[in-house]
Chains A and B, each alone.
Chain A
Amino acid sequence: MSTTVSKKPEPSPLGGEHVRQSPLTRIQHLLHAQATIGPAVVLLVSIVVFALMSDRFLQPGNISLILQQVAVVGTLAVGQTIIILTAGIDLSCGAIMVLTSIVMAKVAAETGLPGLPALLLGFLVGTACGLINGMLITRLRLPPFIVTLGTLNVFFALNLWYSESATIRGTEMPSLLLWTGETFTIGGTRITYGSIMMVVLVAVMAFVLKNTAWGRHVYSTGDDAEASRLSGIRTGRVLLSVYATAGAVYALSAWILIGRIASASPQAGQMDNLDSITAVVIGGTSLFGGRGAIVGSLLGALIVGVFRNGLALAGVDVLWQTMAVGILIIVAVSLDQWIRKVKP
């Protein structure tokens, strides 16, 4: 090797000096710049592994099943993501969804309200629930964790009260409410309209976050609320709009939920509150706010769906599926902590 040391030009103090990086540091920087690469790789690897473990995994029927199973949590995760991006959390999302689904179904079943107005009423209820969360957080300045822990119980109780703990059967509802469970066929794979709605919702929200001022403000509010305020962003309004939007998104989840189970049950979606947070976290969005992406959350929901389905096909007991998801969460959060330590 050459032993002469070439005189490098003095780097400017405001300049980016190029330091030789180790491969690990390079991976860290890459993940830092593109947070969705991690979950995308995990999803691809797990699909390949499960396909090798079971012939049935990649069959159209099974793919269709995974997509159906993921659609409800996948849409909830969209609302959850925009809230977590603002450094908040929503423990009440599942309760809002169930309450909304009961309102849509029961009002239509009891009063004979047609499908469209019933649906709109549901969106109104979902948005209102989100708005209540947002008001409590911005006006009373309570932590989102506490507010949504409270409203989780409030909304769930309202749901039990209004439904009288009874399930509304699909046959009692207008067909529009069940439309999300209907399917069409592409290349032998039956796909529900609900799954398509999830993908469209993810695309729209990803576009809005990336390309509108509101989207930039969601990120900056979660990143540094005080800096955003000094930059002239009305952070209270941003938070309020985020929680209200999330509420509307949960109403969409409610519609998909009704289609999925072909009924409206006050006991449905009990696990979905936490599953949506799981999807967001595995998808690479930071719980500290300001960092992450909607597409990551869809990937996160798909990863959980693929793991559960693949392990089941491989004949692994349900308890190990649950453990696998638990380990995934911890790995994802550790990865996030490591990525955040990136040095300039």
Chain B
Amino acid sequence: MTTPVLQARGLVKRYGKVTALGGSDLELLPGEILAVIGDNGAGKSTLIKALSGAVVPDEGEILVDGNPVSFSTPIDARDAGIETVHQSLAVSPSLDIASNLFLGRERRRKGVLGTVFRMLDRNGMREEARRQLDALGIMTIQNPGQAVETLSGGQRQAVAVARAAAFGSRVVIMDEPTAALGVRESRAVLDLVLQVRERGLPVILISHNMPHVFEVADRIHIQRLGRRKAVVDPKFVSMSDAVAIMTGAMEPPEEAKLT
């Protein structure tokens, strides 16, 4: 069996008396899109936050390429090559696209200008931003010097995805990337998700939107009551079955179960 790129074993997270995660597992295989679905309160967000370093689990372990790691901040997860596109996008609207792409990891100029005067390599960052946007086929954003707040919802999402794809060396996690978007914008963002996979980066996609999940996912992780209920193959279950498993109305059929 191939080693999962990212693996969680028995993650537990309690908030006072509320157990958000009650021993949840997760495996992300190389090059796949793993969709994570689950009802509200099933522990999707907490699971994802643990994987992206925003929450420290009380118990359990996280493995990257089979090696145990511990993330205490989002920076730790990022350093391990795990990039997250948060539902809130985590972009700074008044800054330009290039500044946002490099936010928190700015590049400095070479030589004295960079080391002594701490000058940023603005042109270099703009060129790189242009390259990243082009690589994902986001040609419609003309100018990486444009402020993010002048962009549409889909374009902002594209900027956030481009940032994750540019810096994610192992895993890209996307939390509800299409939740706030219209039909056509969603379409374009799903294409971005597929392109990230084409680059060889595995993706964890959290979504409430079943048609989107079934369209792009290779495997579907169904979270229920703080645990992983099943991982199913979207080719062998219907959308209504997936929802039924998610809500506890149905047990996962044996032939569709992957784990």
Contact = CB atoms under 8 A, between A and B. Distances in A.
B211 interface: no
A227 B89 contact: yes
Nearest to B108: A213
Interface stretch (B10-18, B28-36, B151-159, B217-225): B151-159
Interface in A262-297: 290-291
Interface stretch (A61-69, A118-126, A228-236, A325-333): A228-236
A216 B95 contact: yes
A26 to B, nearest CB: 13
Given A13-B185, A16-B142, A223-B94, A344 B88 contact: no
Contacts, number: 104
A224 B93 contact: yes
A260 B92 CA distance: 41
Interface residues of B, number: 43
A226 B150 CA distance: 20
Interface string B83-95: 0101011111111
Nearest to A340: B149
A212 B119 contact: yes
Interface string A221-247: 001101111111100000000000000
A13 B188 contact: yes
Given A14-B155, A232-B105, A223 B138 contact: no
Contacts of B150: 29, 32, 342, 344
Give the interface size bracket for A toward B: 20 to 34
B157 to A, nearest CB: 9
B186 to A, nearest CB: 8
Nearest to A208: B118
Interface in B69-103: 73-75, 78, 84, 86, 88-95, 99, 103
A312 B20 CA distance: 68
Interface in B108-123: 108, 117-120, 122
Question: Which of B74, B93, B182, B187 is the most central at the interface, judged by chain A CB atoms within 10 Å of its CB?
Answer: B93
A212 B114 CA distance: 9
Given A16-B142, A223-B95, A226-B88, A344 B151 contact: yes
A33 interface: yes
Contacts of B93: 223-224, 290
Interface in A179-204: none
Interface string A23-62: 0000001001100000000000000000000000000000
Interface string B151-178: 1101100100000000000000000000
B88 A227 contact: yes
Interface string B166-204: 000000000000000010110110000000000000000
A220 interface: yes
Nearest to A215: B120
Interface string B12-56: 000000000000000000000000000000000000000000100
Given A14-B185, A211-B120, A344-B152, A228 B92 contact: yes
B104 A233 contact: yes
Nearest to A232: B104
Interface in A300-344: 342, 344
Contacts of B78: 232
B92 A213 contact: no
A14 B138 contact: yes
Nearest to B118: A212
A230 B88 CA distance: 10
13 contacts: A13-B187, A16-B152, A211-B119, A214-B118, A216-B99, A220-B92, A224-B91, A227-B90, A230-B74, A231-B103, A232-B74, A232-B104, A232-B105
Interface of A: 11-16, 29, 32-33, 211-214, 216-217, 219-220, 223-224, 226-233, 290-291, 342, 344
Top-6 shortest CB links A-B: A15-B140, A232-B104, A13-B184, A220-B92, A213-B106, A230-B90
